[in-house]
Structure 1
């Protein structure tokens, strides 16, 4: 086997995943040119020939990897063999230098130590070192050298550890996975990694602490690299926090017990690991932990405010609160301890759920005051995907044929999202899971294929079709997945037919803009049909996403009204919607009844009310009414309201775009000034249209 680098490894893993893959698809996924891919394939084929195996075959459009060669590569990447033939690129070498300095603290590191393991010349090492130093400047971390101590890191211990944790999270939540970390341990450490992982898992089970599969992996790698530093004195970190509550938690008992097994005696180390574990472990609302009261109070505030802002009234409130608690408890400690937050799906979540993201961000604003800092978008998008899973339609489908097993080590939110996505894409299939990777070996049911959110070489050894999917898929990704599953990984995908179509067009017509043509054809062929069965364009009520302009009209806007009671105010505010047959009178009766039972749940900010009920309580269509009172009136004699936004929703999704726009409006002081000053519903409506 010849030497392989990161690019070669990435290409080979893609070929293992999809033994038949188009050159274009491979280039797009790995962001490589055709020349770069051809060079890699040539190197790969030389190695396969040396092993007496069939080379990768290219038919002009598609690369084909033979089964025997694929099995050889699966075995190669699943064992330590790969580390003996691996050479790092510049990015990996820079990371490796930091890991050496971090992990080998207290040991003497000379130039020769680095040259031996990096397998580069002295000039290259010095250049790499300068680049690492430049990157660490922003963190106030320095790399120092003296004859007595050799090379070592200098800086705030909290920052040194934070950077290490961030590197672990970035890699393990990317396509790189744990490869570089395993490569480092293979070269630098005598630790039996698998044995250590088992010890950690056993301790977690003993103390009934639950980590999802990926969090367990991250914790295990972080602990391995931190062990040499945990006996360091580091009192500054502990002066910042009050730890009285932590001493009573099972996470603290776990930390003490675990560190005893690794001979760590520093009294502060257990507190550090405890705080870190609290930021990772799944919360359990049925456990009355010492921190239950404060966490549950915050969950209640988040839940109530989300219902207020989203216009969604959950039926199973207690179930939803428990699920929200399980996610928010670790999020609370991540924010409390300023632990690194890496969400590789952040941009995609914001792109696919922009309206829900905006509503969740607004929901969390009061919570920010508790931490005295802005909540990062990465944390907001974690919550967004969690809420998305809660409001997804969970109706079961009649399934008769193939069985797919879903492997998702990312946690509750991602698991629920991918389960619903796959159910909707393949309604005829039975789905098992989502489960974690190790559980697949314990399943006795027969299944036809595996869907996984994280590529794992072990899954390919099961000799079943493996499909790697994103928890959140774009239209293109859904389309390609359906084609792959229907045609099978060994058959040519629809991309080949697409290329044939372009070729036919080229024979009979001059293509002036091939890129534009490709884009338009792809959009047309892959987008779901938005027309109704009679072939006419869908009307406003049939649109999947409704904006504020779709559900509001000047007829629904009432200004400068006077009422004698809050009940009357709700009826008056809803009158235009009742007249337009958007809601029935029963809908308003339900809002008033719920207010008596739960209090003024609809008040979302100062003087602003968003009354709404469930669809089955009398909502016939999606609509919004705006009513402005001449003076505030108190609900139940306590909470004043002046601006009433009466919402009617027929499900949990179609109105979210309009609600996100309304939330943006409510953030504008000019909006309320306009409502107070104008006497014309038409002017108010036009002002809103201009804003959105």
Structure 2
């Protein structure tokens, strides 16, 4: 009998997703060395030959999975036969040990129990459990052993549950379909995951609670593993979070009904599950829900502060606020109940939207006080992706030839980003969706291919080409996706083919690195084609095309020790150098004054600091920033004092964000305001800024 290890299993999944694959691509995707991929390929072939099938076709470069072999692998996964031949990796054994201690906490667990289920010797188990103990120490949890009670997991119940949730969220974000948890349940219980999921789904429909596909799966598994512990009395939790608003919510009624189906009727568990589901469920800006006024007030504050800090004025504020509400409501409860968050796009967002991230982080700073703790960066990047999707343009393109269906089980933010990414890459393709995996059967339109952020075995039943993509793609990922589609479809995402250009260049010049030149040409053609397709709409700014603070600020835009008699005069004086330089017209500052009279001092972003700005269509001609320091404070609308005026002119929603991020970082420094207050000439301020920003 050929045993299947983790690497071989993941290799088999990759080959199901893409039956013809290069060995190098498999090595990159699975983070394996040449010897490791060779071993996994050998094992996968042995699985096939043992079943009486032909082995994998492997040459020096590529691996090919036949249709018959693909169907066999699919059967192994879908019918769970793989469990019979599976051996756990070291990392999987550590998680299995934790799950046993958590799930069987009422039972006596001996050394022999672990050795038997893990299928390892005493020495290996001893080494594994020591590693688990080391990891749990970081969370003030420990494993103890007594002859009377066996192995036990001890520590704060909140931290034990947090550790499980974090583990499931991390594994789910890796797109591995929670294989280990299914394997554990198949070995350790009679629980039918599908039956429990069905109960949860029916009750969610009854109480009108919506979870996106991945959140639903995560909730289902968390519940299954925590059910044995939910009967425990947890007075501390109930005392800390017992607010009357919760008991009015449909989420609380859902929690009571759900736990009743497991014969659990204690109030601690109901409130816990209520907080937990509130931290996962999609929020809806519905004024009838009990917490609407609380959440909406915070959304208003976040939205207004973001507009102030970013220099962006949204046209459709209500629509933008509704989208923000839908994300912030679960984020609020995750922070309130100290629930874990795992954002699998975190690192990519930091790379792709560093300036927007800094602005959003500063936007959220006053909100942290409410929770008595720092807001995790992973929450900030979730908000960042929402604001990024709001800043994107959604103009439709002319009719295209091919139709692509987007399947994204990760919610609004990721869906909006991947839609816009694919639109930019393939301007001649019709894109429909995004939809969740469960909605595939409801799609009535004909489509030629599927784009998905999370591979799922069910997608392959559609008999369509499937492309697994990241919501935020690097240039290399875009390049590979374009070539992958060009090789399997007659769609041409560009007016010119890179191969043709390379042939022409190669004919008349020596090429040192053909592959890198190809990538550079592909990147250039992508940006060029995207901007032409959009007409007057600006192509997505790259890191190199963003403007920094010193790109939009000149010494002549800086005014110091200015005397004015009113806030209106202060704004006009602050705008004068920019008007004279042709950055914007007089109408722009008139609009700022009128907006302030109508909406109040929207531009005051922190104590005594104003960032007046209007929309590009209100008279903007160039990106620019002016700095004006008043001799004496003046109150805007008779109530809000200002002394430092940073007048911003933006031509779109993005080009100035890098500059604003730099400005925001300066506003945290006392030295900056010292220079503004005590410098005699604008050039002194400008030279100080040059030196300070050069340090970054």
Q: 1:258: Cα distance to partner?
A: 0.7
After TM superposition, the structure 1 = structure 2 runs for residues 284-303 of structure 1, keeping only pairs within 5 Å, are 284-303=284-303
Task: Indicate the residue corresponding to 2:350 in structure 1.
Answer: 350
Residue deviations 1:607-646, cap 9 Å, x none? 1111100011111111111111111111111111111111
Task: Indicate the residue corresponding to 1:240 in structure 2.
Answer: 240
The 3-state SS of whatever aligns with 2:559 is: strand
- Whether the 8 Å contact between 1:16 and 1:73 is mirrored in structure 2 is yes
- Whether the 8 Å contact between 2:256 and 2:265 is mirrored in structure 1 is no
Task: Indicate the residue corresponding to 1:494 in structure 2.
Answer: none
Distance 1:321 1:606 in 2: 25
Q: 1:354: Cα distance to partner?
A: 0.1
Q: 1:239: Cα distance to partner?
A: 2.4
- Whether the 8 Å contact between 1:144 and 1:152 is mirrored in structure 2 is yes
Q: 1:427: Cα distance to partner?
A: 1.2
Task: Indicate the residue corresponding to 2:667 in structure 1.
Answer: 666
Task: Indicate the residue corresponding to 1:514 in structure 2.
Answer: none
| Structure 1: tracts of 5 or more residues without a match | 492-496, 512-516
- Confirm whether residue 338 of structure 1 aligns to residue 343 of structure 2: no
Task: Indicate the residue corresponding to 1:61 in structure 2.
Answer: 61
After TM superposition, the structure 1 = structure 2 runs for residues 631-670 of structure 1, keeping only pairs within 5 Å, are 631-670=632-671
After TM superposition, the structure 1 = structure 2 runs for residues 401-416 of structure 1, keeping only pairs within 5 Å, are 401-416=401-416
- Confirm whether residue 434 of structure 1 aligns to residue 412 of structure 2: no
Distance 1:557 1:531 in 2: 35
Distance 1:671 1:100 in 2: 56
The 3-state SS of whatever aligns with 2:561 is: strand
More divergent stretch after superposition (298-307 vs 113-122): 113-122
Task: Indicate the residue corresponding to 1:391 in structure 2.
Answer: 391
Residue deviations 1:644-686, cap 9 Å, x none? 1111111111111111111111111111110111122222112
Q: 1:49: Cα distance to partner?
A: 2.3
Distance 2:635 2:525 in 1: 48
After TM superposition, the structure 1 = structure 2 runs for residues 469-480 of structure 1, keeping only pairs within 5 Å, are 469-480=469-480
Distance 2:526 2:484 in 1: 24
- Whether the 8 Å contact between 1:18 and 1:489 is mirrored in structure 2 is no
Task: Indicate the residue corresponding to 2:524 in structure 1.
Answer: 528
Distance 1:286 1:107 in 2: 46
Change (3 A) 1:531 1:91: closer
Task: Indicate the residue corresponding to 2:221 in structure 1.
Answer: 221
Q: 1:509: Cα distance to partner?
A: 9.9
After TM superposition, the structure 1 = structure 2 runs for residues 171-320 of structure 1, keeping only pairs within 5 Å, are 171-320=171-320
Residue deviations 1:188-227, cap 9 Å, x none? 1111110110110111111111111111111110000011
After TM superposition, the structure 1 = structure 2 runs for residues 418-567 of structure 1, keeping only pairs within 5 Å, are 418-488=418-488, 521=517, 524-528=520-524, 544-567=545-568
Distance 1:141 1:646 in 2: 53
Distance 1:570 1:438 in 2: 55
Q: 1:468: Cα distance to partner?
A: 0.8
Q: 1:169: Cα distance to partner?
A: 0.8
- Whether the 8 Å contact between 1:623 and 1:649 is mirrored in structure 2 is yes
Distance 2:214 2:599 in 1: 39
The 3-state SS of whatever aligns with 1:268 is: helix
Residue deviations 1:475-528, cap 9 Å, x none? 11111111111222899xxxxx99xx9xx99xx9999xxxxx699657634532
Residue deviations 1:241-288, cap 9 Å, x none? 332211111111000011111111222110110111111111111242
- Whether the 8 Å contact between 1:19 and 1:490 is mirrored in structure 2 is no
Task: Indicate the residue corresponding to 2:80 in structure 1.
Answer: 80
Distance 2:584 2:408 in 1: 41
Change (3 A) 1:531 1:292: closer
- Whether the 8 Å contact between 1:350 and 1:381 is mirrored in structure 2 is yes
Distance 1:264 1:276 in 2: 16
More divergent stretch after superposition (355-364 vs 470-479): 470-479
Task: Indicate the residue corresponding to 2:374 in structure 1.
Answer: 374
Distance 1:112 1:226 in 2: 24
The 3-state SS of whatever aligns with 1:274 is: helix
Task: Indicate the residue corresponding to 2:572 in structure 1.
Answer: 571
Residue deviations 1:130-149, cap 9 Å, x none? 22122212222222233333
The 3-state SS of whatever aligns with 2:241 is: coil
The 3-state SS of whatever aligns with 2:462 is: coil
- Whether the 8 Å contact between 1:404 and 1:431 is mirrored in structure 2 is yes
The 3-state SS of whatever aligns with 2:545 is: coil
The 3-state SS of whatever aligns with 2:210 is: coil
- Whether the 8 Å contact between 1:355 and 1:660 is mirrored in structure 2 is yes
Q: 1:151: Cα distance to partner?
A: 2.0
Task: Indicate the residue corresponding to 1:27 in structure 2.
Answer: 27
Distance 2:526 2:272 in 1: 54
Residue deviations 1:154-184, cap 9 Å, x none? 2111111111111111111113331001111
After TM superposition, the structure 1 = structure 2 runs for residues 129-140 of structure 1, keeping only pairs within 5 Å, are 129-140=129-140
Change (3 A) 1:94 1:570: same
- Whether the 8 Å contact between 1:476 and 1:526 is mirrored in structure 2 is no
- Whether the 8 Å contact between 2:237 and 2:268 is mirrored in structure 1 is no
More divergent stretch after superposition (137-146 vs 478-487): 137-146
Change (3 A) 1:691 1:527: farther
More divergent stretch after superposition (299-308 vs 24-33): 24-33
Change (3 A) 1:145 1:522: farther
The 3-state SS of whatever aligns with 1:527 is: helix
Q: TM-score, normalised to structure 1's length?
A: 0.93
Q: 1:308: Cα distance to partner?
A: 0.2
More divergent stretch after superposition (68-77 vs 651-660): 68-77
Q: 1:552: Cα distance to partner?
A: 1.1
More divergent stretch after superposition (48-57 vs 477-486): 48-57
Distance 1:287 1:198 in 2: 30
Q: 1:590: Cα distance to partner?
A: 0.6
Distance 1:346 1:328 in 2: 17
Distance 2:133 2:52 in 1: 45
Residue deviations 1:410-457, cap 9 Å, x none? 111111111111111111111111111110122222111111111111
Distance 1:152 1:287 in 2: 47
The 3-state SS of whatever aligns with 1:528 is: helix
Q: TM-score, normalised to structure 2's length?
A: 0.92
Change (3 A) 1:469 1:568: same
| Structure 2: tracts of 5 or more residues without a match | 492-497, 530-537
Give the CA RMSD over aligned residues.
Answer: 2.5
